Amino acid sequence: ARMARTLVELFYDVVSPYSWLGFEVLCRYQHIWNIDLCFRPAFLGGIMQATGNKPPAMLPKRAEYMVKDVKRMAKYYQVPVKISEDDFQHVFGTSTLGAMRFITAVDMTQPQYLEPLSREFWLRFWSQHEDISQPENMLAVAGQAGVSSELAQKLLEMISSPAVKNRLKETTEEAIKYGAFGMPAVVAHFNGEPHLFFGSDRLELLGSVIGE
pLDDT, tens digit only, all 212 positions of the chain: 457 899 999 999 999 999 999 999 999 999 999 999 999 999 999 999 999 988 877 788 888 898 999 999 999 999 999 988 777 777 777 789 999 999 999 999 999 999 999 999 999 999 998 899 999 999 999 999 999 999 999 999 999 999 999 999 999 999 999 999 999 999 999 999 999 999 998 999 999 999 99
Q: Which residues contact 133 (CB under 8 A, 6 or more apart)?
A: 94, 95, 96, 97, 98, 99
User: Which pLDDT belongs to residue 97?
Assistant: 94
Distance of CA 58 to the CA centre of its chain: 20
CB within 8 A of 52, min separation 6: which ones? none
Neighbour tally for 11: CB within 10 Å:
28
**Taking the CA atoms of the chain, what radius of gyration do you get in angstroms?**
17
CB atoms within 10 A of CB 49: 12
Q: What does the alpha-carbon distance between residue 155 and residue 109 come to, in Å, rounded to a whole number? A: 9
Please tell me the predicted confidence (pLDDT) of residue 69: 93
pLDDT at 58: 79
Catalytic residues: 16
Q: Report the alpha-carbon angle 181-184-185, nearest 5.
A: 60
Domains of the chain as residue ranges with CATH:
6-210 (3.40.30.10)
